Structure 1
Amino acid sequence: MEKSTRNQEIQHKVETVTNGNQNHAEIHQLDQEATNTSSHGINGNQHRELVISIKEMAESCLELPPLSSNKCCIYRIPTWLRKLNEEAYTPEVISIGPFHHGNKRLEPMEKLKLKYFHKFLQRVDFNVEILVNTIKLNEESVRSCYAETIKYSSDDFVKLILVDGIFIIEFFYELCLQGPYSVIRENHILLNPISWLAIMLDLKLLENQLPFFALEILFRHARVPICEHPSFNSLAIHTFERINDQKLHQNHEAYEIRHFADLARAFFLPSSRKLPPYRRDPAYADHLYTASQLDEAGVKFKVSSSKCLLDLKFTNGTFEIPCIKLYNSTENTYRNVIALEQCHYYTNNPQFTDYIVLLTFLITTPKDVDLLIRKGIIINGLGSNNAVASFLNNLGTNVPYGINSAYCDLFEDLNAFYENPNHIWKATLKRDYFSTPWRIASTVAAGILLLLTLGQFICSIIQVVKM
């Protein structure tokens, strides 16, 4: 009875404090009373289980990777991005790394992995124990690359890294030495032109990765003597350059590539000497006129000779844009690079995201798409112009932007050009009266007729004055 009464008094005081009727001294006194009550055993054990549960909850965060870990680079796709297109982030034929390992839909390719692992053992006549010990020594570093706790046991995790890593190295060796069609013929039961391309697309998915430094460790033991590549980075870049039919703009020796999704991003980035100015100024990155509006204001669109998508230029009224090739597989690559930048590069110059945001402003309707197709800037492999506009509009959904835009100057210059009335007047005159030879001839004829009529009118006035 005494305990109940005392608790009621404390509760009453708490309610009084909550209503704002106590000063800080009284609040301190109330805290002291609660402490004394607990230390004297009154209700001392009543909430013990709750206290223990709260402490365990706080300590459970120790199992998570360090929030400031420099090694963390492989992430789960955020929900707000995944819900837009689940398939764009999910491997179609093969799992790499722990996130999708064990998926029954991907089991057929596990046989291909084991086949390549067996070929590796035959080729190098190597003691597997050395590989196991090497990965064991680096296990914690590999685990720290993933943005969530990996639940696999140490042995299972090491086995996964070995099988997946050796498969990638051996597969890339064959692609470089024999070419894709020879690889397909040799593995025709599991591989065909479609599944081969699907594997290369799956390797670019953010959730489907092994860290490159782990592959580099395995590469030192798996290297083919006749192979010209001194490192796994070199082998991977060469393979992607052949598949993309494009050279990497970055100096790969100076650019740290963390995994294949990061390598896919590197192919979009300009060389370091062409990097646009980087500043925190969202003022000009919240609005841009569409391509058709800019065209009406006299902006000339021209396909750039640059092979780097992000190398945009606007000088003297001419907007140069590198050719944009859009196919069914493009969305997967674009979405995963954006997801990587949102998770890993958002505070460190997310250039590809800024580029996509610019495109979503520039292209909003099929009319904009048609204009850029006619200029040779867009190659449409998606079908209709509506499909291209829809693709780009959806691509920018739920993507934060404007905090670190690399294109602030470009936004500002294009908007300023459109808002200059002289440019609109000149563009209208040119479009309505001088856009074709027939219109030029008609305009000249009308001008001559106007001059003749004016001359006749003046002559008539002179005659009247003389009379």
Structure 2
Amino acid sequence: MGEYQRATLVTNIISALESLDPLSSPEPCIYKVPDPLRKLKKEAYSPQILSIGPFHHGNEKLQNMEKHKLRYLKEFIERANKNLEDLLPVIEDSEESVRQCYAETISLNRYDFLKMILVDASFIVELFYRNWRGAAAWTSYDKVLLKPWLAATMQRDLMLLENQLPFFIIKKLFDLTFSSQGDLPSFTKLTFEYFKFFNTQKLPPNPEPEPRIMHFVDLLRRFYLPESLPKRTAKKVKHVYSAAQLDGKGLKFMADHSRHCLLDLDLDYKKGVLKIPHITLDDTTEFYARNLMAFEQCHYPNAAYATDYFILLDFLIKSEKDVDLLGRKGIMVNGLGNNDATFINSLATSIVYSTMSTKYYDICIQLKKFYEDPKHGWLASLRRDYFGNPWKAASTTAVVILLILTLIQAVCSIISVHPHH
């Protein structure tokens, strides 16, 4: 290569390097869902009616809500007794911090980006405020738009990984505008109230929870984590027998109503009892499961506790028989209208996990051991064939008693014929 060609190549490479977009942040927390997961079920990660944040901003299918969001901004400004000149500096001061929360470079210019943050954040504050105040806060305009199905879809959209604003910027806007209104709770409390259905452990909305909430998907994950997190292991579990198979070997499945943490399973190997907290399977379950797992894939690859749970559920549920069994045991309420296990079976597809909760790993190993122990096979057959229901148990008991009495009678007869001398 000649000197001129080499110099030209160097110039081209330098130009390419300089044109690279800057890294958005060393520690982003809002991600686009990885393609392998998105391809499995695109609608589980895409908003249906409401765009929040930059990833779906400008989507033509979501434009119907934009006027509603602007109306909320107008009423937010009036309620706060502020003007745009008061509000915009708060957003401007945090622009770079907000941009750094996204794992993708945001192409919106500064004007559009700041407007989007203000409109979306004020909409969320107003929505949560009205939800907290109840019927008295809803306007006639709300009553037209916020039908039950629409309100449920809106809440679902706010739980999508790609549809997030950083929590801190919404809270910052709320604190600026409403901190002087003494009758209002903190924004954290308003958020907990809006998502209270998912807060099965009744976690308290501390004013400054630690670690701080990153966004609503992060909060949702926190709702499901146990108070004490088990250690992780790099050991892998590739197979666990299904619920119906384990039931056939005599394992008892029990609904645990005393525990409010969904992830808190407990196996008593000696008694052959697996306790599982109650869960409802419906479309919402699938959406939050998929988005929680996607978030953990991106942000918590070595602390994927929610992923552990859904992988174990995938192991246990392989067919309609398993769904039916867990339903009869009161563990699972199936709101899908049938016993189709397809969505559970596909949850772990394309999920990459390098570590697993030591507690779940031990449960999986013990379940395999229980199934493969020969004694559980014949004991289960005995229970199933002769003690499967009260009638079988009664007749079996009667037969055993009759045999014992017959045996005693035979022994007595022999003794009477051949008495001892």
Q: TM-score, normalised by structure 2?
A: 0.90
The answer as to 2:8 corresponding to 1:54 is no
Partner SS, residue 151 of structure 1: coil
CA contact (8 A) 1:280 1:403 kept: yes
CA contact (8 A) 2:199 2:224 kept: no
> CA 1:162 to 1:457, structure 2 compared with 1: closer, same or farther past 3 Å?
same
Deviation (angstroms), 1:279: 2.2
CA contact (8 A) 1:250 1:269 kept: no
Which of 75-84 and 259-268 deviates more? 259-268
Q: 2:178 aligns with which of 212, 223, 241?
A: 223
Q: 1:142 aligns with which of 80, 98, 117?
A: 98
Deviation (angstroms), 1:384: 1.0
User: Which residue of structure 1 lines up, in the alignment, with residue 357 of structure 2?
Assistant: 405
User: Which residue of structure 2 lines up, in the alignment, with residue 6 of structure 1?
Assistant: none
Deviation (angstroms), 1:247: 4.7
Partner SS, residue 104 of structure 2: coil
RMSD of the alignment, in Å?
2.5
Deviation (angstroms), 1:217: 1.2
Which of 413-422 and 364-373 deviates more? 413-422
Which of 72-81 and 413-422 deviates more? 413-422
Deviation (angstroms), 1:264: 1.7
User: Which residue of structure 2 lines up, in the alignment, with residue 427 of structure 1?
Assistant: 380
Deviation (angstroms), 1:464: 9.7
> CA 1:402 to 1:124, structure 2 compared with 1: closer, same or farther past 3 Å?
closer
One-letter amino acid of the counterpart of residue 394, structure 2: A
Residue deviations 1:398-417 (CA, integer Å, cap 9, x gap)? 11235233411211222222
Deviation (angstroms), 1:164: 0.7
Which of 450-459 and 196-205 deviates more? 450-459
One-letter amino acid of the counterpart of residue 443, structure 1: T
The answer as to 2:256 corresponding to 1:304 is yes
Which of 355-364 and 134-143 deviates more? 134-143
CA contact (8 A) 2:188 2:205 kept: no
Q: 2:3 aligns with which of 44, 50, 66?
A: 44
Distance (whole Å) between structure 1 residues aligned to residue 78 and residue 103 of structure 2? 35
User: Which residue of structure 1 lines up, in the alignment, with residue 74 of structure 2?
Assistant: 118
Which of 372-381 and 392-401 deviates more? 392-401
Q: 2:243 aligns with which of 265, 285, 291?
A: 291
CA contact (8 A) 2:192 2:205 kept: no
Distance (whole Å) between structure 2 residues aligned to residue 452 and residue 221 of structure 1? 87
User: Which residue of structure 1 lines up, in the alignment, with residue 326 of structure 2?
Assistant: 372
CA contact (8 A) 1:249 1:308 kept: no
One-letter amino acid of the counterpart of residue 74, structure 2: H
CA contact (8 A) 1:250 1:271 kept: no
User: Which residue of structure 1 lines up, in the alignment, with residue 142 of structure 2?
Assistant: 187
Q: TM-score, normalised by structure 1?
A: 0.82
Distance (whole Å) between structure 2 residues aligned to residue 249 and residue 409 of structure 1? 27
> CA 1:184 to 1:291, structure 2 compared with 1: closer, same or farther past 3 Å?
farther
CA contact (8 A) 1:74 1:146 kept: yes
CA contact (8 A) 1:325 1:378 kept: yes
The answer as to 2:269 corresponding to 1:269 is no
Deviation (angstroms), 1:95: 0.4
CA contact (8 A) 1:248 1:266 kept: no
Deviation (angstroms), 1:286: 2.3
The answer as to 2:84 corresponding to 1:128 is yes
One-letter amino acid of the counterpart of residue 77, structure 1: V
Which of 412-421 and 369-378 deviates more? 412-421
CA contact (8 A) 2:166 2:215 kept: yes
Distance (whole Å) between structure 2 residues aligned to residue 126 and residue 308 of structure 1? 42
Distance (whole Å) between structure 1 residues aligned to residue 293 and residue 200 of structure 2? 20
CA contact (8 A) 1:97 1:210 kept: yes
Distance (whole Å) between structure 2 residues aligned to residue 73 and residue 281 of structure 1? 24
One-letter amino acid of the counterpart of residue 311, structure 1: D
The answer as to 2:191 corresponding to 1:233 is no
Deviation (angstroms), 1:137: 1.5
Percent identity between matched residues is 46
Deviation (angstroms), 1:146: 0.3
CA contact (8 A) 2:29 2:102 kept: yes
Q: 2:339 aligns with which of 366, 385, 391?
A: 385
Matched pairs, number: 412
CA contact (8 A) 2:201 2:261 kept: no
User: Which residue of structure 1 lines up, in the alignment, with residue 394 of structure 2?
Assistant: 441
Q: RCO higher in 1 or 2 (8 Å CA, sep ≥ 6)?
A: 2
Distance (whole Å) between structure 2 residues aligned to residue 228 and residue 123 of structure 1? 12
User: Which residue of structure 2 lines up, in the alignment, with residue 100 of structure 1?
Assistant: 56
User: Which residue of structure 2 lines up, in the alignment, with residue 174 of structure 1?
Assistant: 130
Paired residues for 1:244-255 under 5 Å: 244=198, 246-249=200-203, 253-255=209-211
User: Which residue of structure 2 lines up, in the alignment, with residue 329 of structure 1?
Assistant: 284
What stretches of structure 2 of length at least 5 have no aligned partner?
none
Computing the radius of gyration over CA atoms, which structure comes out larger, 1 or 2? 1
CA contact (8 A) 1:184 1:196 kept: no
Distance (whole Å) between structure 1 residues aligned to residue 19 and residue 413 of structure 2? 101
CA contact (8 A) 1:325 1:380 kept: yes
What stretches of structure 1 of length at least 5 have no aligned partner?
1-41
User: Which residue of structure 1 lines up, in the alignment, with residue 275 of structure 2?
Assistant: 320
> CA 1:87 to 1:402, structure 2 compared with 1: closer, same or farther past 3 Å?
same
